Amino acid sequence: MRILITGAAGFLGSHLCDQLLGDGHEVIGMDNFVTGSPDNIAHLANNEKFSFYKRDVSNYIFVPGKVDAILHFASPASPNPLSKSGYFNLPIQTMKAGALGTHNCLGLARTQDARFLLASTSEIYGDPEVHPQVETYAGNVDPVGTRAVYDEAKRFAESLTMAYHRFHNVNTRIVRIFNTYGPRMDLEDGRALPNLLKQALLGQPLTVYGDGGQTRSFCFVNDLVDGIVKLLYSDEHFPVNIGNPIEMTILQFAETINKITGNKAGITYIDDARSARDPQRRQPDITRAHDILNWVPKVDLEEGIRRTIPFFKQKLGIA
């Protein structure tokens, strides 16, 4: 196939480029580098099956020639309020990528008779009251809260995707992505893994907000990409959770990172507003992914962290 990936220079988009090129497809990357990095796709510069357009998907997009599939991954995703590339500091761009960007990509998919895959998120569940989160759960969200620009952009994108599927018969798919980590992720992302792994590699105490009882589940990027590609190749139109269902507290996670890295600086507990603002539990039910896609994650947490460390050390300038 000839496949367009928006957000191709981002953490997930660049890994998808690698996987789909490896599967023998031709890939067209599109990104405006607001949050993505040219470094993430630099290794593809001489690949004859890869081409790139610097574009903002919130504006009209055009790709010459036939397109067989579109994967819409363009959006700020970092929850770090201190990051210039996080959605707290790019609220309008985040909403536009989810609304106008999705509309433009769906329009292109319709005219090209191409299959369309939307990158949605576990954030659409908000601070969930159902555990683990199953695709039929409608969520517990605040449409005017501090995280709403990202949450509601993705919820709207899902609704628009299903509207195009039902009204225009566009061949759509929706993946709800849970916490993912690995090489090429932004060290200033603001999520637990980059925060804690960076501190550990620098020999600093790991910062845990509140009592560390909040839970997360962590999926290695290779596993996530495998699930997304299987969904692309499938005939499933309704949302599918892709993530690792093994739930652990942030405190357990911090202790695991200190053990793997040999960091002796320990853990520091901080009372901070973000501990109340963050979702307290996050765990995917992946029954649909298993039954429909025959997908389960294969890389355990310790192995995934070990495979991520060299990238972090390179970015931190650590030998």
pLDDT digits (tens, 9 = 90+) for 154-212: 999 999 999 999 999 999 999 999 999 999 999 888 888 999 999 999 999 999 988 88
The per-residue pLDDT for 105 is 98
Catalytic position from the list 53, 60, 137, 150: 150
The token pair at 210 is 């509140």
| Beta bridge partners of residue 69, listed in sequence order | 3, 115
The per-residue pLDDT for 274 is 54
For residue 121, give the nearest of 89, 93, 97 by alpha carbon.
97
The per-residue pLDDT for 79 is 79
- Write out residues in the chain with pLDDT < 50, as ranges: 275-276
Rounded CA-CA distance 240/6 in Å is: 20
Q: Which fold has domain 2-181+220-245+283-298?
A: Rossmann fold (3.40.50)
| Beta bridge partners of residue 172, listed in sequence order | 116
In sign, the C-alpha dihedral spanning 23, 35, 125, 165 is: negative
The per-residue pLDDT for 278 is 65
The per-residue pLDDT for 219 is 97
Say which residue the tokens 């159902």 belong to.
Answer: 130
Is residue 196 exposed (0-12), middle (13-18) or buried (19+ Cβ within 10 Å)? Answer: buried
Whole-model pTM: value is 0.95
The per-residue pLDDT for 190 is 81
The per-residue pLDDT for 263 is 94
Q: Is 125 a catalytic residue?
A: no
| Beta bridge partners of residue 220, listed in sequence order | 181
The per-residue pLDDT for 277 is 58
